[in-house]
Amino acid sequence: MKLTLQLPINSVSFGQISTLLLRETFLSKKVDPSLFLIGNNVDLSSQKDITQEFVDWLNVKIKDTLATHKRTDKLFKLWHLNGSLESISNDQTLLSFYELDSPTREELNIARNQKNLIFTSSYTCDVFKQNNCDNVNFVPLPFDKYNFSLTNKKYTSDDRIVFNLCGKLEKRKNHKKVIQSWVKKYGNNSKYFLQCAIYNPFLKPEDQQKLIFDILEGKNYFNVSFLGMMQKNELYNDYLNSSNIIIGMSGGEGWGLPEFQSVALGKYGVILDAHAYKDWANKDNAILVEPSGKIEAYDNMFFQKGSIFNQGNIFTFNEDDFLSACDIACEKVRINKVNENGLKLQNQFTTEKFVDDVLKVINK
């Protein structure tokens, strides 16, 4: 099969998934693709164990594509809906992410103009199908075996229980409600610590500090830390391994990669039973919190009311339900520090299966 890929290769989430797909394609040799870059540069600086052979292969693919690609070739593109109406193929399969519940006329038109559209959330697929998009397909994301693994390190010298909170700082992630709820119960208690890796590179540092100051209402908590940007996946792997419990209470996700990777590493998850989380988190591998309803997603930063993109609502939750789930998670940690059922996700969602699933959709 003649296949062209159009991907960003960088250190953010789109680039991480692109690189994972390329690494698996390179090793498995299931296809020999052409490659168009989205963006100007290849950035593999965050990746672990990149070989020169892989880099040389990428360079050859990028160099040859302009001379070999035809519009009749099948194209797989990984990108935002905004920016995907344009196509260099008459047979384009798009993998994208959508986190809300009210696709606009423009988003629906872009969706319908794809030969195939892949979402990594069955909830999102249902939202688009309800709006008469019959070309949508659900493909779950895999555990990134290239960058994440158990370290078996001891990160603390005491028996503290460490919670992790991830994702770029924004309203959609429900960070404010999570942190404020958590400090009410565990704040300044040395038995519990909260590590927040919620640095948002799209915010000015002073704006980010102000948001954190407002979330904590000007108070200081010795057991709450806010970490900076982690440029290397190896460092991020250490961060994920250093916790006992991962908090996944985002109001809308395309998958929830940090939470998923954490539970797959054997961490206990306090997870909102909604949107894409439902595709991998269940009562056996996580402590589920039922949503209490929905609120508008608009924050006047990343989600602007009235825009032609990203309109709609996110899920919210009851504070008491969240804290009760945290208590249950703490008790599970005391009984067994390893979430054995969480580890099974590594074998359930593999990179091999991900590539196979994508190829099946492309070949429809």
Helix (H) or strand (E) holding 323: helix 319-335
Report domain extents, the chain: 3-142+349-362, 161-348
Q: Would you state the pLDDT for residue 240?
A: 98
Q: Would you state the pLDDT for residue 40?
A: 83
Q: What is the DSSP string of 101-167?
A: S---HHHHHHHHTSSEEEES-HHHHHHHHTTT-TTEEE-PPPP-TTT---------SS--EEEEEES
Q: Would you state the pLDDT for residue 262?
A: 98
- What average pLDDT does range 204-221 have in this prediction? 95
Q: Would you state the pLDDT for residue 30?
A: 86
Q: Would you state the pLDDT for residue 298?
A: 98
Distances (CA, A) of 196 to 134, 164, 168, 230: 39, 6, 10, 12
- List of residues 6+ apart from 290 with CB closer than 8 A: 273, 317, 321
Q: Which amino acid is at 52?
A: Q
Helix (H) or strand (E) holding 20: helix 13-28
What does the chain come to in residues?
A: 364
More confident residue, 364 or 131: 131
- What average pLDDT does range 166-171 have in this prediction? 96
2 confidence band (pLDDT: 50, 70, 90): confident
- What average pLDDT does range 28-32 have in this prediction? 89
**The Cα angle at residue 334 between residues 332 and 340, in degrees rounded to 5:** 50
CA 225 to chain centre: 22
Q: What share of the chain is helix, strand, coil (3-state, %, to 5)?
A: 35, 15, 45
Residue 135 has which token pair? 């070309």
Question: Is 3.40.50.150 the CATH number for 161-348?
Answer: no
Instruction: Return the CA Rg of the chain.
Output: 21
180 confidence band (pLDDT: 50, 70, 90): very high
- List of residues 6+ apart from 323 with CB closer than 8 A: 181, 182, 184, 185
Q: Would you state the pLDDT for residue 199?
A: 94
Q: Do the two domains 3-142+349-362 and 161-348 of this chain adopt the same fold?
A: yes
CATH architecture of 3-142+349-362: 3-Layer(aba) Sandwich (3.40)
**pLDDT one-digit tens code per residue, 215-259:** 999 999 999 999 999 999 999 999 999 999 999 999 999 999 999
Distances (CA, A) of 106 to 84, 85, 138, 213, 306: 11, 10, 21, 37, 12
- Has residue 1 got a pLDDT over 80? no
- List of residues 6+ apart from 219 with CB closer than 8 A: 183, 187
**pLDDT one-digit tens code per residue, 328-357:** 999 999 999 999 999 999 999 999 999 999
For the chain, what is the mean pLDDT?
96
Whether residue 9 contacts residue 19, with contact meaning beta carbons closer than 8 Å, is answered with yes
- What average pLDDT does range 274-302 have in this prediction? 97
Q: Helices 257-264 and 233-241, interaxial angle, to 10°?
A: 60
* Three-state SS at 322: helix
- Spatial separation of the C-alpha atoms in residues 261 and 247, rounded to whole Å: 12
- What average pLDDT does range 59-88 have in this prediction? 95
